[in-house]
Structure 1
């Protein structure tokens, strides 16, 4: 059994040694009815992984070489796992595998391909490490209890954190406030500052205004009362004017006065009648306008000090100002 394992290891080593030339050793022929040995299956998987790698299919290549390494461990398989990860910009994971290969203690009789893979891993590790970028997260305006995450994982502020190249998200949650910042980090960029600034209202809805309230009915009712009184007064004055006009027409039909009524008396009585009629018309107009405004105030009922309506009378009529 030990002899067979040695032969399998040698077969894997020889197969991997041919990677640079683009060919792999064919698995040894198995007697009919027997399952391929783990080493043979590993070589077949490695061949598929190499084809995927050369086609730029990094994810598939990684999966194939990992499966091969699980069947029969080889530093060459793991070397290509690291390379596939590096080509996906997963530099931190690639570095971990490179370090593992570099630190592995090989047997004295290890295949030359294993030793070459280890030497290549150490050289590629040296070249890779300076390319791993880092960020420093700073949060301004948040409380000490704020939750700070980098790509969904808790992180410390003010500390250099290694990341893979690409887009990274910092999310800060402070009570009911939340703020996020995105940053595109390039390979070889070290201590890139990601600053998250909180404002007093970040994440909070605008302050609600005062609840609208209905104003008092008193202004509307008062105006209705004033308007009603004016209408009544205008009607009375109108009646008086009509009575005076009837009396004048009776005493002076067609403007011709009988005995005892002088021309001056006729003119004076006529002027008085017109004055009362004019006062009636004006009082009725103002009363109707004031009553109309009163009706509006009873319906709308504006509230608040700034919304208090103002009623004014001018030579051209009556006006209402305010917010409705």
Structure 2
């Protein structure tokens, strides 16, 4: 347990005495001409903050005492700032404040409240250090340039366990394009070990353009329209000629029109074949997307670019031919 503050009435009186009486001794820093009004304002803020602290309203107390410290720097303020941080669960910040109190220069003559503040800081720091959780982070696969962050705050790569506040945390390590992330929970007085393995970055393969497939779909659509029109004209012409025939015998004068109808039919068949080949090839190109590249290896890119697909149209056959 941390050493608690003295009874409220005594603390308030002691704090006022530390600020008003012997102002040079009340602070570890020289009095740089602080006005009496600033000292009075600091005393009022600090007294209110201490009252809030004793009521367990640590966030409000911290705000009041920090404002008092801004107006007049005093060890009595800083020890209560550390206590408020402890109450808020911000143990690492509290430790830093206690350590600051322990390392700052002290005047030879100090008011009793100031002497008590320094003594309390040393005692409370010892108790606090036993409560602060520690995390040991092991990074596998890291090389020069690896960066570490805990809860979004950059940290140097640890040579040993790191102090953290109780609660949930996120640790992230990056090394170039490689990244590893782990969540962990820290409990007061406990040590947790976190292991992060930097795997190779998964890089997406860059696919080729859809333009060739779109062009072939357009060609297929246009050929389908042409095939439908010429096929319709051919059927209409054949029907017209058949009406002129008697018992399967057609007038010789209709030969030119019959040849024209046959040509329309042939054109329709060919254009339908082209349409089918274009659509099939377009589907293949839309799926394969040749011409792309992979960021992982040049071989994959070369392989993708080497794919060649040709439509094949022959009597009674429509298809595609590919070379890989």
Identify the TM-score tier after normalising by the shorter chain: 0.5 to 0.7
Whether 2:57 is the aligned partner of 1:78: answer no
Find the aligned partners of 1:295 and 1:109 in 2 and give their Cα distance.
Answer: 103
Task: Name the SS of the counterpart of 1:193 in structure 2.
Answer: strand
Distance 1:26 1:289 in 2: 103
Q: Distance in 2 between matches of 1:295 and 1:148?
A: 60
Using a 3 Å threshold, how does the CA distance of structure 1 residues 297 and 111 change in structure 2: closer, same or farther?
A: same
Q: Which residue in 2 is equivalent to 1:56?
A: 56
CA shift digits 1:4-30 (9 cap, x unpaired): xxxxxxxxxxxx9652668648979xx
Contact 1:136 1:158 in 2 (8 A): no
| Superposed counterparts of 1:106-145, under 5 Å | 110-141=110-141, 143-145=143-145
Q: Distance in 1 between matches of 2:147 and 2:15?
A: 56
Once residues 73 and 211 of structure 1 are traced to their aligned partners in structure 2, the CA distance between those partners, rounded to angstroms, is: 67
Displacement of 1:105: 7.4
Shift of 1:94: 1.2
- Note the C-alpha offset of 1:311: 8.1
Shift of residue 89, structure 1, vs aligned partner: 2.0
1:129 Cα offset (Å): 0.2
1:98 CA drift (Å): 2.4
Counterpart position of 1:19? 8
1:302 to 252, 264, 281: 281
Instruction: Give the CA deviation at 1:188.
Output: 2.4
Contact 2:82–2:97 (CA<8 Å) still a contact in 1?
Answer: yes
Contact 2:178 2:198 in 1 (8 A): no
| Cα distance between partner residues in 2 of 1:177 and 1:312 | 56
Residue matched to 1:164: 165
Aligned pairs (5 A) from 1:238-277: 245-246=248-249
- 1:293 is the counterpart of 2:293: no
Residue in structure 1 matched with residue 194 of structure 2 by the alignment: 193
Specify whether residues 111 and 296 from structure 1 end up closer, same or farther in structure 2 by C-alpha distance, changes over 3 A only. same
Cα distance in structure 2, aligned partners of 1:180 and 1:59: 31
Partner of 2:184: 183
The alpha-carbon distance between structure 1 residues 103 and 152, as it changes in their structure 2 partners (threshold 3 A), is closer
Partner residue, 2:20: none
Partner Cα separation in structure 2 for residue 122 and residue 26 of structure 1: 19
Instruction: Give the Cα separation in 2 of the matches to 1:134 and 1:27.
Output: 38
Aligned to 1:211: 209
Aligned residue pairs: how many? 248
CA distance in 2, matches of 1:74, 1:200: 52
Q: What is the distance in 2 between the residues matched to 1:302 and 1:208?
A: 21
How far did residue 83 of structure 1 move?
0.4
Match of 2:89, SS?
Answer: coil
TM-score, normalised by the number of residues in structure 1: 0.54
Question: What is residue 94 of structure 2 aligned with on the other side?
Answer: 94
In 2, distance between residues paired with 1:75 and 1:122? 12
Q: Is the 8 A contact 1:309 1:322 kept in 2?
A: yes
Q: Is the Cα contact below 8 Å between 2:76 and 2:117 reproduced in 1?
A: yes
- Change in Cα spacing, 1:36 to 1:133, as seen in structure 2 (3 Å) is same
Secondary structure at the counterpart of residue 302 of structure 1: helix
- Cα deviation for residue 128 of structure 1 reads 0.7
Report which of the two structures shows the higher radius of gyration computed on alpha carbons: 1
Rounded to whole Å, the distance in 1 between the matches of 2:269 and 2:61 is 90
Q: 1:174 to 1:104 in 2, by over 3 A?
A: closer
